[in-house]
Amino acid sequence: MNNINMEIEEKLIKYILQKKTKTMNLSEVYKKLKLPYTPQSDKIINNILTNLEEKGYIQPLKTTNKDFQGSFEKYKILKLKEENEEKIKEEILKLDKKIKIDYFLKHPKEYIKYKKIIIPINEFIKQTNGGKIETITVNERSYQIYKNEKCLKENEEILKKLGLTCKDLYAYDTYEPFFYYINTEYKIRKLKNKTILIIENKDTFWTIVKAIQKLKIENIYMIIYGEGKKILKSFSFIEEFKIDSKDNIYYFGDIDFEGINIYVSLKEKYNKYNISAYTKGYETILDIEKTPEKVRKNQNINQDKIEKFINEFDKEYKDKLIEIFNNKKYIPQEVFNYEVALKSMK
């Protein structure tokens, strides 16, 4: 069997292993493999189906008709034959010793399903074993191995099952940078610890930047634009600024379920940093907005996260927040406008 036919066979095996139904029509084989209805395609498919029948993947339903090459119109999908499963396990045992094989020995079908991902990784590890090789980005390494820059990131679960990390492939993940402003008035010699504000929304970010400039505030080092949920990924970029657990990082966003989910998720994900709610900002908008509106769209409610957020406030504001959340209301961060910022941040 030539390389092209082997690729077609592997593609069909993967499709068979993923199928939830117990039968497969000949027409869907053509459709899945994107092959035209030609005598040459008929011959290729017949050879592949015969191979898969011998390997114990499929069994023809002989009550159905045959085409010109002898392929049946319908096939039953079988469990792997025991002897074929043993052959797959033998193949798995031949993988490089740096690769953990326990999972795939227990799930040989999974190995067949992801063979196209596993084999190139195995080859790369064998080729680089003991040699000196430069560390490059994950996407660069992915393109080098697969001619597809997204492949490694899209198959991180397979890497985990193989007991590997990007480091084992001499690759590193790049940061998703966030937009930020460094306060030129910050006096680094006066303060041992830096103060950083993460602002959820763009308008409020610029409002606070302008207020800091106008008031010549010296005790805030950096303002980060969180950009909604993006901060959950992009906050890793903070490592470039030599921020540690002694520094104070405050989060300020909308008072709604989504905003609270973002804040608490950030705090939990990056727990080596000292992240807390910017209570001064939240309390300010709670004092201003006496009649909050109903939440405009359905949002995921995580009671555990809401409680963690509320517990950062004293009783007066805790009660206000409980009332807002119980009535599914919200206060947008934009209540904290430029005029408010000038008064609040003095």
pLDDT digits (tens, 9 = 90+) for 272-312: 999 999 999 999 999 999 999 998 777 778 899 999 999 99
Picking from 149, 172, 195, the residue at the C-terminal end of a domain is 172
Are residues 192 and 333 both part of a single domain? yes
Are residues 229 and 312 both part of a single domain? yes
Identify which of 215, 186, 226, 196 has the alpha carbon closest to the alpha carbon of residue 338: 215
Least confident of 103-107, 206-210, 234-238, 340-344: 103-107
pTM, rounded to two decimals: 0.63
Q: Is the pLDDT of residue 188 over 60?
A: no
Are residues 217 and 161 both part of a single domain? no
Are residues 66 and 114 both part of a single domain? no
Q: Is the pLDDT of residue 80 over 80?
A: no
Picking from 120, 154, 172, the residue at the C-terminal end of a domain is 172
pLDDT over 90, % of the chain: 59
For residue 13, the enclosing domain spans 3-77
Count of domains forming the chain: 3
Are residues 73 and 10 both part of a single domain? yes
